[in-house]
Amino acid sequence: MVSAATNLGANAAKRYLEINTGKSTRATEELASGSKASNPSYDPSSSAVAYRLSATVQSLVQASANVSQATSMIQMATGSLGATQDVLTRMKELTVKANTNSVGDSERKMINDEFQQLLNQVTVNANSARWGGVSLFTGGAGTATHSGAVTEAATGLVAAATAFAGTLNTANTQGNITGYAVDATVTANNGLYDVTVQISDQTFKATVGAAVAGGALTLVSTTDPSTSISFNYDAADVTGITNATTFQSTLRTSLGIEAGAARASFEALSTNAAAVTGGAVTLSAGSGTNAGTWALTYNYDATSKVGTFKASLGTEYYTATIDTSIYATPATLSTTVSFSNGISLALSSFDSTTSLAQETFSITAGTQIKQAFQYGEKATDMLDVTFKGATAAALNLTGLDVLTMSNAQLASGKIDSAQDQIGSMISELGGKAAQLGFMADTLMISIQNQTAARSSFIDANIADSMATLQRFKGLAQIANSVFTQSLNEQSQLASMVQQMR
């Protein structure tokens, strides 16, 4: 029917034109994007499933990377253990070499020199096997215990006539200095003296002029510039120090380094502040924390309103800052402060606007370090890899020597046990590496299957999309022609009415 008021044919043609154009446009989107749900509204249920599968695939891809990294870590670790086995093999050979009457005491001393270097290398290997900054074979850290009130002291310092008073200069001594005097050397340097003092693992150095009666010899740590140690010269007479040789001799005498003398020992200050004893500051160690006596200080800068915590072992130190201006109540601050070596501080109502003097904590050595890896989609898909201690102490090798045949025999037995321990560790880690290899294969299969599943929900069928495009593009063109023709029918009706007039 042709109506002057309503063009039903044009309306129908217009509706089908829009339908066909929409379907051809969607087919074009599918071909361009490669997805049949480039717009989630096209197929909400399939899109939801596809997004979930995409997240699963990405999680599995990252898990696969985790497994690869864990495998690399184990390969590095077992390589280090293999190097330690080589060291132990050579040490075993030296025990055999020393366990015979065909060599004398002087020869055994030379053999022992190499033996001690190799013994030290065992610990070096353990400390050097690092991953992510963590030494895997140190055994990690055990518990941390506050030292309480400790007075800074040097025990065993002796007076060296007309040279050193045998006392610490407490005004110039600061930082974490703990251990025994190991060595002291002095060399001439163009009218000055280069002085080096080693206390346990810490090395202190200074370049100084001639000794002055009543003065002090102050040296600075080579690893922590804020740590220094200072020895008082004789108050009245330093004529015993005339050159580098006498300087070194009198300094070694004062430190008890000479043969037959008791070596001086040093203990760091711990103030036993209420902030620590009252629970405002609680220190704990992490897997990357080395055992030993750690010193903790806190310095507050009122101008910048920034406080700095410092944790020092003597041979290493770490800092962490707090911007107190961002807290509403900095005088009663409760938060956690972490250091890069694993030490963390739990602060509870801590007054961050007041500096904290030095406190010391004794951190015991642990027996093993655990590293965890997520190997699957779920957060509970975790694999633990255990790295047992492989230092000389952990292998029960400390204090060994081959200076006598009986000592060589004792060392031989302990080296056998140590090699068994290392062999067992290599075997365990090798088993983990094999397990990770199978996990990697499983992950690749899962990624493949999950990707295929996602594809079935979201990927466009190119052939179908091409056919759809051609079909509805043609229908759209036909609908457009029909729509145009329908509009012409009303024009023809108007012309007919005019002719009838």
Claim to verify: residue 65 and residue 48 sit in the same structural domain? no
Cα separation of 171 and 146, whole Å?
Answer: 24
Which residues, listed in sequence order, are joined to residue 270 by a DSSP beta bridge?
Answer: 150
- Give 389-434 pLDDT, tens digit per residue: 998 988 999 888 999 999 999 999 999 999 999 999 999 999 999 9
Does 479 score more than 80 pLDDT?
A: no
Strands (E), 248-343: 265-267, 281-284, 292-301, 306-312, 317-323, 333-338
Give the least confident one: 216-230, 345-359, 437-451.
Answer: 437-451
In this predicted structure, what is the pLDDT of residue 33?
Answer: 65
Is there a single domain that holds both residue 385 and residue 317? no
The Cα 483–Cα 434 span in angstroms is 71
178 & 255 share domain: yes
The number of beta carbons lying within 10 Å of the beta carbon of residue 450 is: 19
**With 60 as the cut, is the pLDDT of residue 5 above it?**
no
| Amino acid making up residue 248 | Q
Residues 128 and 163 placed together within one structural domain of the fold: no
Structure tokens at 237: 């007479």
Instruction: Give the least confident one: 17-21, 185-189, 388-392.
Output: 17-21
Question: Could you give the percent of the chain with pLDDT greater than 70?
Answer: 85
pLDDT band at 131; cut points 50, 70, 90: confident
492 within domain boundaries: yes
**191 domain residue, yes or no:** yes
216 and 308 in a single domain? The answer is: no
Q: Which helix (H) or strand (E) holds 47?
A: helix 44-98
pLDDT of residue 368: 87
94 or 44: which leads in pLDDT: 94
Among 263, 298, 320, the domain-final residue is 263
Let me know: does 485 contact 14? Beta carbons within 8 Å.
no
CA gap 487, 10 in Å, rounded? 6
pLDDT at 35: 64
> Mean of the pLDDT values across residues 32-60?
72
Residue 78 belongs to domain with CATH number: 1.20.1330.10
131-149 mean pLDDT: 86
The position carrying tokens 């938060």 is 335
Q: Are residues 187 and 250 in the same domain?
A: yes
170 vs 474: which has the higher pLDDT: 170
Whether residues 473 and 391 fall in one domain: no
Higher pLDDT, 169 or 452: 169
Report pLDDT for 484. 76
Domain stops at, among 239, 263, 287: 263
Q: Residue 220 and residue 229: Cα distance in Å, rounded?
A: 7
Report the DSSP pairing between strands 202-208 and 192-199.
antiparallel
What is the DSSP-derived secondary structure letter of residue 303?
Answer: T
pLDDT greater than 60 at residue 228: yes
| Residue 167 in domain | yes
Check whether residue 180 and residue 230 sit in a common domain. yes
CA dist., res. 239 & res. 250, Å (int)? 11
Same domain, 255 and 161: yes
**More reliable by pLDDT, 44 or 319:** 319
Q: What is the rounded (10 degree) CA torsion for 95, 98, 101, 104?
A: -170
Using a 10 angstrom Cβ sphere, with 0-12 exposed, 13-18 middle and 19 or more buried, the burial of residue 370 is: exposed
Count of domains in the chain?
Answer: 4
Region of poorest pLDDT, from 4-13, 94-103, 345-354: 4-13
Domain presence at residue 472? yes
Q: Is residue 408 part of a domain?
A: yes
For the stretch 268-310, pLDDT in tens is 999 999 989 899 999 999 877 888 899 999 999 999 999 999 9
What is the predicted pLDDT for the residue at 398?
87
pLDDT of 377 strictly over 90: no
Over residues 144-168, the mean pLDDT reads 93
Decide if 212 is inside a domain.
yes
| CA–CA separation, 36 and 490 (whole Å) | 41
| Domain range for 199 | 157-263
Q: Which two tokens stand for residue 316?
A: 């290493």
Three-state DSSP state, 138: coil
| Mean of the per-residue pLDDT values of the chain | 87
pLDDT at 347 over 60: yes
pLDDT at 501 over 60: no
230, 263, 296 — which closes off a domain? 263
- pLDDT of the residue at 498: 64
pLDDT at 82 over 80: yes
* Residues 6+ away with beta carbon under 8 Å from 497: none
Same domain, 386 and 304: no
Please report the pLDDT score of residue 139 as a whole number.
85
Examine the domain organization and report whether 387 and 360 are in the same domain.
no
Closest CA to 178 of 363, 394, 368, 397: 363
β-pairing, 281-284 vs 265-267, is unpaired
The answer to whether residue 446 sits within a structural domain is no
What pLDDT is recorded for position 118?
Answer: 94
For tokens 């370090």, what's the residue?
369
Domain presence at residue 165: yes
Among 402, 438, 285, 374, CA closest to 60: 374
| pLDDT > 70? residue 47 | no
d(CA 217, CA 229): 8
CA atoms within 13 A on the CB side of 261: 21
Q: Are residues 165 and 235 in the same domain?
A: yes
Question: Is the pTM here over 0.75, yes or no?
Answer: no
